[in-house]
Amino acid sequence: MPYRRPPAVQARLDARRDHVLEAAVRLLSREGYGGCSVAAIAAEAGISTGSVYQSFAGKSELAAALFRTLVARELEAVAACADLPGTAAHRVAAAVEIFASRALQAPRRAFALLAEPADPAVDTERLVFRRAFRDVYAAQIAAGVASGELPPQSPELTAAALVGAIAEALVGPLADGDADPGEVIPGLITFTLRALGGHDAADA
Amino acid sequence: MPYRRPPAVQARLDARRDHVLEAAVRLLSREGYGGCSVAAIAAEAGISTGSVYQSFAGKSELAAALFRTLVARELEAVAACADLPGTAAHRVAAAVEIFASRALQAPRRAFALLAEPADPAVDTERLVFRRAFRDVYAAQIAAGVASGELPPQSPELTAAALVGAIAEALVGPLADGDADPGEVIPGLITFTLRALGGHDAADA
DNA sequence: GTCTATATTAAGATAGAC
DNA sequence: GTCTATCTTAATATAGAC
C-alpha cells in the first residue's frame, strides 16, 4: 500500500502550489511568458525562488502547469457548448463565440497562451490541447454528419482546421492589441458556419 | 561610402553560409529542430563548431535563418498561384493544394517547421511567416470579393483563418507519420472552398 | 518550511594555435 | 580560415542556515 501524506499536509502543499500558480497567472496576464522567470514568479508570489521548487520540479514544469491550468478552463467552457440545444452547426458556432470572446477579454494572456514564443515545454502543451479542442469539435461535427445536417466530411480534419482557424484569426488582433475586435467574432462565426457546410451560413 | 568586401571574398562567405544551411536542412529533415544543436549542424557540415560562428551570429540566428530559407520557398510556391487562370476561389484552392502536397512529401521537415517545439526565435519566425502567407491569401480573397465572386468578408480575417486551418489540419497527419494523407488534401480543399463562401464548394 | 547564497550545468560562444 | 580547447553566462536548481 503506497504511502499517502496526511490530508492536512497534502492540503498545505496544494495550497502553496495554487498560490504560486495564481501568481504566475497574474504575471502571465501582464507580461506574457517573457515575464515568467522562476525568480519573477517567486517574487510575485511573495516567496523565495527556492521555495518554488517545493511545488514544481522546475521551470518547464511550472510553465506547462500554468498553461494547462488556464487552457483547461477554456476547454471546459468550449466543451459545455455540447449541451446547448439547436443544430450541431449552432453548437459549434456557440463554442467559437465563447472561445473568442473569452480570449478578447484577456488579450495579453490569450496571446501568450496561443502563440507567444515560449519555452518548448509550452509548445508541447499547445499541441496536446489543440488536439483536445479538436476532439470536442469533432464530436459535434460527427453528430451533425450522422444526422444528415452536415455534408459528409472527416470530423477530425474539419475540427482540426477549425481549431487552427480560430487561433490564427485571433492572433493578429490579439497581438496588435488595438485592432477593433468588434468585427472579429461575427467574421469568425460566418467562417465557421460556411466551413462546416451547413446551408445557414448566411443567416448567422 | 561603406566598405564592401571584394566580390570573391563575399562569394566565399556566402558559399560557406549556404553549406552550413544545407547541412542544417538535412539535419532538420531527419531529426527536426531537436537535432539541430550548433555542434550537430557543424558535424553534419564537416566543420568545427567554431567555424559556424563565421557565418552566423549564434544559434538562434541560425535556427531562424534555417526556417526562413525553407519557408520562403513555400511562400513563393504559394504566391505563384496568384497568376493561375480561373476564379479567386480556384486560385486559393490551388495554393492550398500546393502547400499541403509539398508538406506531405517531407513530413518530418514540415512538422518541424509548422509546429515542433523549438527555440523561441523559431516561434517568432513562425508568426512573421504566417502573416506573410495570410497576406498572399488575403490579396486573392480581396480580389474575389471585389469582383462579386465571393461574398463580402474581411479578407485578412478569412485569410488568417485559412492559414491556421491549413497548418493545423496538417499537423496531425504529419505528427502521426502514418496517417493516410490521401484524404487530407481533398478534405482541405473542400473546407477551403466552403469557408470562402463561393457556391462551387461541392464541385471541388 | 522557508530563505539566502551558492553551485551547477549544458549549451553556446570565443580566443589563440596552426 | 579553420580547428581545438576553453570559457562564459544566464538562468536554473540546490544545500544548508535559521
Q: Is B118 on the interface with A (CB under 8 A)?
A: yes
A117 touches strand D (CB under 7 A): no
What are the residue ranges of helices labelled H in B32-106? Answer: 38-45, 49-55, 59-79, 88-105
Partners of residue A112 in chain B, C-beta under 8 Å: none
B117 touches strand D (CB under 7 A): no
Answer whether B58's CB lies under 8 Å from B20's CB: no
DSSP-derived secondary structure letter, B84:
-
Alpha-carbon distance values, A170 to A106, A116, B6, B124, B179 (Å): 12, 12, 48, 16, 29
Q: A204 pLDDT band (50/70/90 cuts)?
A: very low
pLDDT of res. B1: 56
Mean pLDDT of A24-40: 95
Q: Is the pLDDT of residue B202 over 70?
A: no
Q: Which residue of B has its CA nearest to A125?
A: B117
| Residue of chain B with shortest Cα separation from A157 | B169
Distance, in Å, from the CA atom of A105 to the CA atom of A116, rounded to the nearest integer, reads 17
Distance D14 C1' – A70 CA (angstroms): 29
pLDDT tier for residue B200 given thresholds of 50, 70 and 90: low
Q: What are the tens digits of pLDDT across the range B90-113? A: 999 999 999 999 999 999 999 999
The per-residue pLDDT for range B105-150, each reduced to its tens digit, is 999 999 999 999 999 999 999 999 999 999 999 999 999 999 999 9
Residues with Cβ within 8 Å of residue B56, at least 6 apart in sequence:
B17, B20, B62, B65
> Could you say which of A134, A156, A169 has the minimum Cβ distance to residue B160?
A169
> B178: pLDDT confidence band, cut at 50, 70 and 90?
low
- Give residue B182's pLDDT: 83
Domains for chain B: give ranges and CATH numbers.
1-56 (1.10.10.60), 66-196 (1.10.357.10)
Q: Is the pLDDT of residue B179 over 60?
A: no
Residues 28-47 of B with CB under 7 A from strand D: 46-47
Whether residue B24 has pLDDT greater than 60: yes
The structure's pTM equals 0.94
Q: Does B104 touch chain A (CB under 8 A)?
A: no
Q: For residue range A65-97, what is the model confidence (pLDDT) as tens digits?
A: 999 999 999 999 999 999 999 999 999 999 999
Residue type at A20 in one-letter notation: V
Mean pLDDT value across residues A100-105: 97
Q: What sign does the dihedral B195-B199-B203-B204 (CA atoms) show? A: negative
Mean per-residue pLDDT of chain B: 93
pLDDT digits (tens, 9 = 90+) for A35-50: 999 999 999 999 999 9
Closest-CA distance of chain A to residue B122, Å: 8
Contact of B181 with B104, CB cutoff 8 Å: yes
pLDDT digits (tens, 9 = 90+) for A109-150: 999 999 999 999 999 999 999 999 999 999 999 999 999 999
Our measurement of CA B53 to C1' C14, in angstroms, reads 9
Q: In the prediction, which pLDDT does A35 show? A: 92
The CA distance from A26 to A36, in Å, is 10
Q: Is the CB of A54 under 7 A from strand D?
A: no
Q: How far is the CA of B67 from the C1' of C18 (A)?
A: 35
Convert the pLDDT of each residue in A174-185 to its tens digit. 998 765 678 999
B120 touches strand C (CB under 7 A): no
- Between CA A161 and CA B178 the distance in angstroms is 19
pLDDT greater than 50 at residue B203: no
